[in-house]
Structure formats: structure tokens, C-alpha cells
Amino acid sequence: MPIIRVALDVPLATLFDYVVSEEARLEIGQRVVVPFGRKQVLGLAMEWAESSELAPERIKPVTRVLDDVPPLPQELLTLLHFCSDYYHYPLGMTALSALPTRLRALEPVTLKQALDYTLSAAGRELDMATLPKRRVVQQRILQALQQSPLSGAQLRSLSPSAPGALKVLIEAGWVECVARKAGPHLNPLPLAGEEAIVENHTFNDAHALTDEQRRAVDAVVQQTGYGCFLLHGITGSGKTEVYVHLMHEMLQRGGQVLLLVPEINLTPQLENYFRSRFPDVELVSLHSGLADGERAQNWLKAQAGEARIVLGTRLAVFAPLPKLSLILVDEEHDPSFKQQDGLRYSARDVAIFRASQRGVPIVLGSATPSLESWYNAQSGRYRMLKLTQRAVQPATLPIVRCMDVSKLPLQEGLSEPMLTAIEARLQRKEQSLIFINRRGYAPVLMCSACGWLSECKHCAGKLVLHLKGRTLRCHHCGFQQRVPHACPTCGDADLKPVGIGTQRLEETLQSRFPQARILRVDRDSTRNKGAWAAMRKLIHEGEADILIGTQMLAKGHDFPNLTLVGVISPDGALYSADFRASEKLFAQLTQVGGRAGRADKAGEVIVQTAFPNHPLFQALRAHDYEIWAQTLLAERQMAGFPPFVYQALLSAEGKQLGEVNTFLQQARGAAKDLQMPVEVYGVVPAAMPKRANHHRAQLLVQADRRKALQEFLRAWKPTLDALPAQKLRWALDIDPMEF
Ligand code: ADP
Ligand code: ZN
Ligand code: ZN
């Protein structure tokens, strides 16, 4: 009987053998339910085998073959193999973690049927003349539906407010939903306006491309086969427009396009944006914020080749895409492309592998590329495409000024020039954004008598003062306690908040500018579902004067009335132990600065720093990423850091520090014994040496070549798996971003 090798979600590096009866008609890539121990579990059929190492009587039969959805394509299975090998993570866990939750369940997937909207009997009899004239969108929808039933996407293309109008029409009983008839919509809607119908989709061609944009688009569309492009474009240079034109081209060729974005908060906005440009093209998003059913449905639309544009966060890199013809990675430098637990993959790197495996172009876009990508473009492995001008003409880059806080007096963390600049914006009815990367009221509470600091007893971190509920909270483990009335050490009642967080800044600015409408955007104020969307609306409608925000506000949002960005206390990154901290800071400040002055108003960025002459700020003032990248590359080369070396980080944590260290020392000994051309560093505490009562330490290994590191890891991993580590959690992180 044929033996099928199945991937299971268990921490072992092997596949598992089962038999399957002839009539079960199993195909590779199908999901199966199999017995494992005493349980029934879900697995993925990976390959057939001639024979098994198990004795025939010990091989159990597959319980059930799930044929609810088509088998996963071989291409995806190959990608999973690659990820498992490269990240040294068990194949079964790799495979299962790539699947949407619904496809990991033991039950078959049931999906909602695709729906069309059509006029009801009442709707067909309705006299349009009786409708109020103001209801333009409702009128338009009814008129369109008189011609033929339409999908939600097609109706949305009529107007951004179509969903609301549709709801009213359904409630009035004029429009109803019906199950879609098989087959594609043959006649795309003829629409008013500037769009042109090209072959089989509508393309709202909003802008004539600039020369630079044209060159970038041409270079990519002329590429045959795999090629990796680095699209380096300053903020506001119109990278998105380049993506749109590339999508258009690939859609015309009948292909699918995958667009990866870093931030889940941005996906609804981007989704709407791309829908407005391609109103009748099927577009789906894939991210962890979707309900399980919707995510499975979108995944299957991608797999069926029906969804032509797939927009998603890092997990979307695993979506099956039979017609994949282009991958776009926006903000490719963003650390959130790297998963920090389980399969610690970099979606950008996996995307590059995927493009090369498939033989299609990939475009990495950023205003501040990662040094890895920049270096690859410099050395010719990637092709560089540059956008050096802002796309909308009067919009120029903001003026960046540094305020030397070692010389200027500060009031609650704010310098006078900063306050004056904010005041000027208030008078001109423009918006200011004050950027600070610390939420809460103050980073720590201190006793002025004995110097006691509020520390988390479970972590090596400080408890942050939050005024709401008067609590001290640990941002690492979630521990909270009420603010003590007196110092726990000396009993003195004079406890003072030290440092500044978003809440304190809000309080300070509110008392200084009592009339100003201040909006604080951080993880605390946006915790409730929909809160962030509501705030964004307020900002757009000009209902907020001063925005106070953490990095959430920095990414990708376009606020035309914003003309001032203030940056408070960014200096920590300049002397951080993390060698990537200054690279990240430059990217962050460029991005947040890019929010200022995007429309017809000039923007200004004010940075409060004690090191105004630091090369980072010099480059920031000159808007010169290249100089900065050169400086950093020189430093990294001197110090022997990536991208000049390749790293793997073994980290471990446990309740007993001794056990953690013993494990890592044994791992280190085993690594040394291999005598391979890699550098094995010493065992050191993690940057956060204790978290939630677990001690954390790590061991770094690096090599000059990726291949040497991989060979070493292949030899080392089995010994790691064999080390005693019952009470520990450990993980191997390839190309680590966090230490
Ligand atoms: P980036 O992603 O590079 O920061 P965007 O793609 O958001 O820049 O573009 C910035 C602004 O410029 C947007 O408002 C966009 O509509 C506009 N834009 C882009 N390309 C053009 C063009 N060729 N002509 C006119 N406006 C453009
Ligand atoms: Zn004290
Ligand atoms: Zn803690």
C-alpha cells in the first residue's frame, strides 16, 4: 500500500508515515486527519514514499482526507521546505503555521457563497423620480443595478460611500443579495470619469507618471524572469503610484500581484485605495486582524487565482498564488516583516526566495532601505531604482531643525522653540504632530529622598506610571499595581514621575494651550476596536490641532494639513546596545518627518536632541539617506556586523538562571567542537535579562558567508535538540533583528 508522508504540528524535524487506501484518492498538498498518539490531528500530505522505516504493522491509516478545498500547490510546499531548512524549524510546524486557522481545523471548511446585489421586486417598480435628488449615490446604485446584478466590489467603484448607501437601500427593501451565478462578470461596468478600460479591467489612471516613476515602471515590466529591484524613493515621491502602474501591467498580462505591507493598521486604507484604482479587479487582504472565516475565504480566492491583487502583512507571503507574476514589498526595511516567535521568518527574505523560485520580479520599496538591501543594491545583486523628487510639485521636503537640549531649558520636556512652533500652527489652523516613543505618563516613578525607582519585580524593567487608575504598569509582562502613597523603601511621601510619556506630554500641552484639541494616539488610546479609525477620521476632518503619538502615527498616513512634526527625546537610540538602533531611528524620523507638508503647505521638523551634530541628524537635515547609509556601512564593516556577516542567535529562558546558562554553555561547547568556520561568541544576558520571572540569556554565532553559517547550523541543530532542556524554552533565530 502506498505510504504518504505527512507534516504535523509537532516539534520534530521529521514527516510522519501513514498508509492510505487506494480508493481514498489522496493528492499531495491535501489536508488529512490522522491518528497521532491518542488524538486525531490535522496534517498536510507532503510526499509519497516507496517504503517506511516503520514496521508495516505500526503504520496507521489516514483517518480522513479533506477534499473541501483544492490541494496546496507543489510550489507552496517547496517554499515551506525552504523555510524549514533555512530557519531550522521543524517542517511540520512550518507548514502548519503557514496555513490560516480554518484550514488547520479538523473539520472541512465551509465558506460563504459569493454574493451579488440585485434589485428586489419593489426596487424594480420604484419610480426613481420620487427619490430625493440629494441621494446621488443611492440613485447611481439603483441605476447601475437596473442594467445587471453587481458585486460589492463593483458597487464600491461607484462611490466611496457606496457601502453606506447600499445598506440604506437594502433596509428599504429595494435591493437584495443573491448567490452569484457561476462564471466571471463578463461586462465590466462602464463608468463615468477619466478611467480607461484596458483589456479586462478598469484602471483609474489618476496621474501622468513623472520621468523617474516611468523609468522605474519600465525597468520592472521589461524584466523577464526573476530580478530583485530596490525602489529607493523619498517620502512622497510616489512609490505607491509605481506599484499601481506595475499592478496594472501585470493584471493586463493575466497575472496575480502580491503586495506586502508592514502594518496591519494600514491595510484597510490601502485596500480602499487600490480598489478605487482598480474598481472591478478582485482584491483580497490577508492579515491577522481578519476573522478566521474571512481569512480562509481570501486565501482560497488567492489559491483559485480569482483574487488578482493580494494585499497583506507578513503572513501573506505564504498565500498560494498560481498566477503570481510580481511581488511588491512596501517599507521593506520595517522590522515587523520579521516574525519574532515560532517560525522566525523574514517575510521580505522569503518573498525574495519566492520570486526567484517562481522566476518573477520583486520590488522592495522604501525611503530608508535596510542596510542589507542597500548593500545588495550597491554590490549589484539588486537593481537600484531611484525616485528623488516629491511627486506633487509644490510639495518639497520639510525643513529639519535640531534644538540642542543640552543648552536650552526645557519645560516638562519641551523647549521654547518647540512650543512657539506649535503655537504658530495653532494660529494658522494647521496641525502639529509630536512624536515620542514612550506611552504612559512617565517612564518611572522615583523617590526623591532615597532614589528608589519603580521597578517590575518580575522583569529587569521599570514600571511605567499611568495616570488612568493611578497604576504602575510593566510594558514587558503586563504586571500592574496601584501607585504607592509612600516610598516602599524609606517611607518618604515625595514620589516624583521621571521622564516623559505620551500622557504627560498631553497634559503639559493641554495646560499650555487650553483651547487646542489634542489627540493622543498610542497603544492605550487605540486599544478598542475602531478607535484608531475614528481618530484618523477626526484628523482628516481637521477636528484635531495637536497629535501626540508613538510610532503608530509615523507609518504611511497622509494628513494634508499637518505642517509641524516635533520629535522628543530620540537620543536613547544613539547609544543603544542594539547595533541597529540608529538605523531604525533614522528610518523612523524620516518616515515621521515625511508626514509634514505633503500637500501645498511647507513642512517643518523640529528634533530635540543633545547631539545635534551627530551624523544621523546631519544626514536627516540634508535628507541624505545615502550619506547616512555609507556612514553606517563603514561602521558595520569595521565592527564586523551585518550585512558583512551572517548571524544566528540561540536564546534561552527559564526560571533558574543556572539552568539557562548551563544549557547555553553546553550548546557553546558543542558549537566549538564542530570546528567549523564560524565565530562562536560567549553566553551573555539578553537585552532584557529577566522578563515575567524568566531569566533570559543568549549565544551569538556568526559567519562571513551565509552558506558557511547554514552548514554549521545543520551540524549544530541536532546536538541542540539532544541537550537536556526540560525546564527551558529556547529558540534559534536566523538573521535576528532583536537581541
Ligand atoms: P510615497 O509612497 O513614495 O511616500 P505616495 O505614493 O504616497 O508617495 O505619493 C505621494 C503623493 O503624490 C500622493 O498624494 C500621490 O497621489 C501623488 N502622486 C504620486 N505620483 C504622482 C504623479 N505622477 N503625479 C501627480 N501626483 C502624484
Ligand atoms: Zn525612598
Ligand atoms: Zn514586568
* Ligand 1 binding pocket includes 330 (Cβ within 6 Å): no
Alpha carbon distances (Å) from 262 to 286, 347, 397? 12, 10, 24
The model's pTM: 0.87
* Ligand 1 binding pocket includes 214 (Cβ within 6 Å): no
Cα gap 269→274, rounded to integer Å: 9
* Ligand 1 binding pocket includes 569 (Cβ within 6 Å): no
* Ligand 1 binding pocket includes 236 (Cβ within 6 Å): yes
Cell digits of residue 320? 498560494
pLDDT for 599 equals 61
Distance 455 CA to ligand 2 centre (A): 13
Q: What DSSP character marks residue 61?
A: B
Distance 693 CA to ligand 3 centre (A): 8
pLDDT for 178 equals 78
Distance 580 CA to ligand 2 centre (A): 37
Ligand 1 atom closest to the Cα of residue 594 is: 4
Local structure of 78: helix, strand or coil: helix
Cα gap 173→175, rounded to integer Å: 6
* Ligand 1 binding pocket includes 238 (Cβ within 6 Å): yes
Average confidence (pLDDT) per 10 residues, the chain, 739 residues: 92 93 86 96 95 90 92 96 97 96 90 76 84 84 85 76 86 81 39 45 88 97 96 93 96 96 83 91 93 93 95 97 97 96 97 97 98 97 95 80 93 93 95 91 93 94 90 93 95 93 94 95 84 86 92 75 91 89 94 76 90 96 96 96 97 97 98 97 95 96 97 97 93 95
Residue by residue, DSSP assigns 97-162 as HHS-GGGGSSSPP--PPPEEEEE-HHHHH--GGGS-TT-HHHHHHHHHHHH--B-HHHHHTT-TTH
- C-beta atoms surrounding 469 within 10 Å: 9
Distance 573 CA to ligand 3 centre (A): 22
Task: Render pLDDT for 680-735 as a digit per residue (tens, 0 to 9).
Answer: 999 999 999 999 999 999 999 999 999 999 999 999 999 999 999 989 999 999 99
pLDDT for 113 equals 62
* Ligand 1 binding pocket includes 235 (Cβ within 6 Å): yes
Local structure of 441: helix, strand or coil: coil
Instruction: Give the residues across from 549 on adjacent strands.
Output: 435, 521
* Ligand 1 binding pocket includes 591 (Cβ within 6 Å): no
Distance 585 CA to ligand 3 centre (A): 25
Task: Render pLDDT for 310-362 as a digit per residue (tens, 0 to 9).
Answer: 999 999 999 999 999 999 999 999 999 999 999 999 999 999 999 999 999 99
- C-beta atoms surrounding 35 within 10 Å: 13
